[in-house]
Amino acid sequence: MLQIYQGEIFGILGDNGAGKSTLVRQMANLLRSYFGSITFFQKNITEARDLVQMNVGYMPYYHFYRKRKGLRPLCIHVASVSVGV
C-alpha cells in the first residue's frame, strides 16, 4: 500500500511499459482500475469523481501533441478532461 500525505512529493520510476502512465491516469480517475483500489481523502475515487476532478490534474505527454496534433488539440483535450466532458 502506498500512502502519500499532504505536502509530500513522490515520483514513479520504471522501465518503458511498466505502467507508470497507466497508474497516473488511474489516480486521476481517467482510466478504470480493474484490480485494487485508489482512495483520495479516504474515499474511493470511483465514488468521489467530483472531489478528484477538483483536486487532481493530469497533463498528457506534451511533445506527442505538439509534434502530431499541435497545441490547440492539447488545450481542448485538457479543458474537456477538467470539466468532465
| pLDDT value of position 81 | 61
Taking the C-alpha atoms of residue 66 and residue 36, their distance in angstroms, rounded to an integer, is 34
Q: Are 52 and 28 in contact (CB under 8 A)?
A: yes
User: Which bin fits 56, alpha (ψ -120 to 50), beta or left (φ > 0)?
Assistant: beta
Interval 7-55: pLDDT, tens: 887 888 889 899 888 888 888 888 888 888 888 888 888 888 888 888 7
Return the CA Rg of the chain.
14
Mean pLDDT of all residues in 55-72: 64
Residue 44, phi then psi, degrees to nearest 5: -65, 130
Q: What is the reported pTM?
A: 0.61
